[in-house]
């Protein structure tokens, strides 16, 4: 990641932002890249273990987890975008959207916890279940708590000195990336409900919670666009980037957060509605089967009586 010291901005400024630089500035030496490779390897090994014993695992789940899930994280942290995440607020906002909203959704659709529970030995499986159903997990996975964390965090980050601190310290910036991923997972995993998490709400409540999150992205995005002060203070002007205007870039950044947040939220709402409909159909089929069995028993009893 290219973190530019304002004092040395004139000599260490990044080149103009182009498709070429995004493709050529890829890095594979970060702890996050190592974590992505490890996560992908463990997931694929779990799928391999299932297939060895003749069990099936939906291909779509693997594609979601490895592709837009881990791949989405890699796209904004390992590709050349990382070279500009402290030079352009707009690039940082792209990272924000992908790490906190896009990637967590697809990670959840990959159901990694379910995969782990189906492949781990008895001892580790019991320990994992104990963690999942612990008091801490119950608190953080409770939808209202997860919603509060998801909504409040961006305001705390951008409307305090914390954001400037992350620009000045590479380790803090990396932690923010990890924090985005974790808060997104905490919010979206209970909503999607594929993994056996405690305290899952019914689908109408999940859809309502997702709907309530939409205005917060709009407010935050518009506030950034209309702000009369630069986020990060004099950090961006001090870089002296001849090819970028910090004020114009901040407007773009707010627009990305606004439009991207609404698009992802509405898409997620549609996914929840589809899941809700499918669950209703499954429940209707279950009730029909039970009624059929009950009628069959009654007919058998009538036949025996006659």
CA atoms of 32 and 38, how far apart (whole Å): 10
On whether residue 83 sits in a domain, the answer given is yes
Is residue 45 situated within a structural domain? yes
R_g (Cα) of the chain, nearest Å: 24
pLDDT at 28: 67
What is the reported pLDDT for 12?
56
Number of structural domains found in the chain: 1
Torsion 266-267-273-279 (CA) sign:
negative
Task: List the domain range (segments joined by +) for residue 231.
Answer: 6-305
The residue with tokens 């630069």 is 230
Dist. CA 270–CA 121, nearest whole Å: 37
What is the predicted pLDDT for the residue at 88? 93
Task: Judge whether 1 lies within some domain.
Answer: no
Query: Which pLDDT value is given to residue 286?
Result: 84
pLDDT at 29: 66
- Under DSSP, the state recorded for 200 is P
Distance from C-alpha of 283 to C-alpha of 276, rounded to nearest angstrom: 10
Which residues, given as ranges, of the chain have pLDDT below 70?
A: 1-13, 28-29, 199, 306
pLDDT at 11: 38
pLDDT of residue 226: 94
- Looking at residue 225, its pLDDT comes to 94
Asked whether residue 84 is assigned to any structural domain, the reply reads: yes
In a domain, 85, yes or no: yes
In this predicted structure, what is the pLDDT of residue 293?
86
Residue 160 half-sphere exposure toward CB, CA atoms < 13 A: 9
């Amino acid at each position: 990641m290219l973190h530019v010291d304002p004092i040395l901005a004139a000599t260490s400024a990044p080149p103009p932002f182009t498709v070429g630089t995004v493709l050529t500035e890829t890095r594979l030496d970060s702890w996050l890249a190592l974590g992505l490779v490890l996560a992908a390897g463990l997931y694929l090994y779990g799928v391999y273990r299932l297939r060895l014993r003749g069990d099936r695992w939906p291909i779509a789940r693997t594609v979601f987890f490895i592709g837009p899930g881990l791949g989405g994280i890699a796209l904004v942290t390992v590709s050349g975008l990382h070279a500009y995440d402290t030079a352009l607020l707009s690039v940082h906002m792209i990272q924000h959207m992908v790490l906190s909203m896009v990637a967590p959704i697809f990670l959840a659709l990959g159901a990694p916890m379910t995969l782990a529970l189906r492949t781990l030995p008895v001892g580790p499986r019991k320990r994992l279940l104990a963690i999942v159903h612990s008091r801490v997990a119950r608190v953080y996975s409770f939808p209202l708590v997860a919603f509060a964390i998801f909504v409040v965090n961006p305001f705390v980050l951008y409307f305090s000195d914390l954001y400037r601190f992350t620009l000045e310290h590479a380790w803090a910036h990396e932690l923010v990336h990890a924090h985005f991923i974790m808060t997104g997972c905490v919010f979206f995993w209970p909503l999607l409900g594929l993994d056996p998490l405690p305290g899952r709400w019914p689908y109408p409540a999940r859809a309502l919670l997702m709907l309530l999150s939409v205005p917060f992205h709009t407010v935050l995005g518009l506030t950034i666009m209309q702000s009369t002060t630069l986020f990060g203070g004099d950090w961006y002007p001090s870089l002296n980037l001849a090819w970028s205007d910090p004020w114009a870039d901040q407007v773009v950044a707010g627009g990305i957060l606004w439009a991207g947040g609404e698009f992802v939220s509405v898409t997620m709402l549609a996914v929840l509605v589809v899941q809700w409909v499918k669950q209703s159909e499954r429940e209707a089929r279950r009730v029909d089967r039970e009624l059929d069995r009950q009628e069959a028993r009654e007919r058998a009893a009538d036949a025996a009586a006659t």
